Amino acid sequence: MAVVKVDKLARSVAEGPSLMTGSIPTKDWMDVPAVFKPGNYAYPTKPEKLRYLDSQQGLSFPNAREWNPEDEDWKLPENWKEIIIQGLADRLDRFRSLKIFMDCCVRCGACADKCHFFLGTGDPKNMPVLRAELLRSVYRQDFTLAGKILGKLAGGREMTAGVLKEWFMYAYQCTECRRCSVFCPYGIDTAEITMMLRELLHMVGIGINWAMEPASNSNRTGNHMGLTPQAFKGNVDFLCDDIENLTGVRVNPTFNRKGAEILFVTPSADVFAEPGIFTCMGYLLLFEAIGLDYTWSTYASEGGNFGLFTNNELMKKLNGKIYAEAKRLGVKWILGGECGHMWRVLHQYMDTMNGPTDFLDIPRSPITGTVFENARSTKMVHISEFTADLIKNNKIKLDKSRNAHIKATFHDSCNPARAMGLLDEPRYILDHVVDNWVEMPENTIREKTFCCGSGTALNTDEIMELRMRSGLPRANAVKHVHDKHGVNTLGCVCAIDRATLTSLMNYWVPEVQVAGLSELVGNALVIEGEQRQELTEGLRTLV
Ligand code: SF4
Ligand code: SF4
């Protein structure tokens, strides 16, 4: 879908009629229906993908069919309303957090202007408080005494097809980034409300293909692209050849090797797509430099977990495969690459879903002896923690001048930053691999970081304008440091970010490229016996 020219979109955000520009809606929000038109919704799941997932043990994805959000009739099951209300009742029973979030919002509005979707679209229903109200109003009507007696007067409303359509629209205009929750005095996590909305929608066959196809591929072959074990290994082998051409160092990673000390898992995007492949080359060089005893798995060949964007059961199943592989291969612990939501699943849900992982050791770096107590339950260490520890203990040699072409800033990816508190390690690494880097403004980094605008499976091209709008707050902060300090590189530790921020930068700040942190480490790494060429663009240099 073509996106309007950048100056037109910028003007539309700044001047178009919206709550952001002081234009007050004339109707109550309940009376404004969701209108679907090309560009404002992601395509529905292909029936064959849904059928496949529905056939898998422990999963339920009913009502596979062709349907179009622009049509009046969404071909719902006859008893769809009962299914939704019963689904909500079940979840209120199962998830104490949901019950609390439904009851305790005081509508203070502290979250209202913190969402990048609201800032980029000006649509009141993209205010986190109102997004949650889409579900809360139905909850009130059916699950509270006041709502049962007073209905709309108590803020309740009937579950109707219009409400369901609204849920679909706004559950997929939230990247579950949790920025709003940082500002909520009650800690209400609107991301978890969005997750519930998506779960409920799946119960009647409503979902988006960009989430379900990668999830289905990942369940079938181990990774989002559906790469076979041979293709996966072949791609890594290509990267090894590139490394040898550039540096004279031959790296020889192993695959599915039983008895290796460590299992390495990273998003498959690192293996097959730019700019992730440069990050992957960085990992390979680092592991070679320290002589790490590790193996890849061609079955747990995906760190990403699109189940998180779908439902609990699928998230659990996809996460479980990593641990099943760790057990099968007999490794001691797991090292994880630069992924965003993999770490959210790990740190917030993994232990109660698939734990305890007593068959693995508490991770201990074989190079420095550091014991990663923080990974005591998950047995999985983030590559930035691992690398920072190597640097701190002087176990690798780095030459910053090899990144002389880089003037960097750092984007805290939402999940590593807000879900696991990975704030200082990436900055410590940056301090040691580049001469020049600057922070973006204080209210756009660390816990308050702005989302890339296209996470949770919203990185699909048919909603490109929406993505450029929702990514605007992040792009604006990058533009600020580009204009003021000449920043030309946006570093991050997330594969989705590497892809989505690249599109975002191309649109709003085309002078800035996106790079994984491990790419910058790989650029700077000095390895014994290397015969490195003059690499003016680091690992991206064409030779
Ligand atoms: S900040 Fe929290 S309590 Fe206040 S309106 Fe938002 S969700 Fe409700
Ligand atoms: S989780 Fe992120 S995208 Fe969703 S409502 Fe909150 S700030 Fe907006």
pLDDT digits (tens, 9 = 90+) for 157-171: 999 999 999 999 999
Amino acid present at 127:
M
Rounded Cα gap, residues 42 and 44, in angstroms: 7
Strand 525-526, strand 397-398: pairing: antiparallel
Closest CA to 491 of 439, 415, 543: 439
**Residues whose CB falls within 8 Å of the CB of residue 447, separated by 6 or more in sequence, listed in order:** 182, 412, 417, 418, 423
Q: Please provide the average confidence, as pLDDT, over all residues in the chain.
A: 96
> Which is more confidently placed, 22 or 399?
399
Short-list 45, 452, 33, CA closest to 209: 45
What local confidence, expressed as pLDDT, does residue 23 receive?
87
Global pTM value: 0.96
Task: Report the DSSP beta bridge partners of residue 295.
Answer: 263
Give the whole-angstrom CA distance, residue 303 versus residue 424: 22
pLDDT at 384: 98
- pLDDT of the residue at 64: 98
Share of the chain above pLDDT 90, in %: 93
Q: Kindly state if the Cβ of 270 falls inside 6 Å of ligand 2.
A: no
Question: What is the reported pLDDT for 16?
Answer: 87
Biggest CA pair distance of the chain = 79
Which of 136, 194, 496 to mutate to test ligand 2, by most ligand atoms within 8 A of the CB atom?
194
Residue 24: pLDDT band (50, 70, 90) is: confident
- Distance (angstroms) between ligand 1 centre and the Cα of 156 equals 18
The pLDDT tens digits for 72-123 are: 999 999 999 999 999 999 999 999 999 999 999 999 999 999 999 999 999 9
Cα 193 to averaged position of ligand 2 atoms, centre (Å): 10
Does residue 104 line the site of ligand 1, with CB under 6 A?
Answer: no
Where does 23-106 have alpha helices with state H? 47-54, 80-94, 96-103
Cα 504 from Cα 459, distance rounded (Å): 11
User: Is 90 exceeded by the pLDDT of residue 55?
Assistant: yes
- Select the more confidently predicted residue: 23 or 368: 368
CA–CA dist 543, 535 (Å, integer): 9
Q: What tokens were used for 208? A: 């988006």
Instruction: Report pLDDT for 19.
Output: 85
Per-residue confidence (pLDDT) for residue 481, from 0 to 100: 98
Residue type, 316: K
Over pLDDT 70: what percentage of the chain?
A: 100
352-411 pLDDT, tens digit each = 899 889 999 999 999 999 999 999 999 999 999 999 999 999 999 999 999 999 999 999
| CB distance 46 to 213 below 8 Å | yes
**Exposed, middle or buried, 78 (CB in 10 Å: 0-12/13-18/19+)?**
exposed
Q: What is the pLDDT of residue 172?
A: 98
pLDDT at residue 17 tops 90: no
Rg, the chain, Cα only: 23
Q: What angle do the packed helices 128-143 and 161-171 form, to 10 degrees?
A: 150
Ligand 2 atom closest to the Cα of residue 118 is 8
φ, ψ for residue 419 (rounded to 5)?
Answer: -90, -25
pLDDT at 1: 62
Ligand 1 pocket, residue 109 CB under 6 Å: yes
208 lines ligand 1 (CB under 6 A): no
For ligand 2, atom 5, the nearest C-alpha belongs to 128
- 231-244 average pLDDT score: 97
Pair of tokens at residue 225? 């692209």
**Residue 369: exposed, middle, or buried by beta-carbon count in 10 A (0-12, 13-18, 19+)?**
exposed
Please indicate whether residue 196, judged by its CB atom, sits closer than 6 Å to ligand 2: no
Residue pair 179/449 in contact (Cβ under 8 Å)? The answer is yes
Task: Output the pLDDT for position 2.
Answer: 76
Q: Average pLDDT, stretch 200-215?
A: 98
Q: What does the pLDDT look like over 453-504, one tens digit per residue?
A: 999 999 999 999 999 999 999 999 999 999 999 999 999 999 999 999 999 9
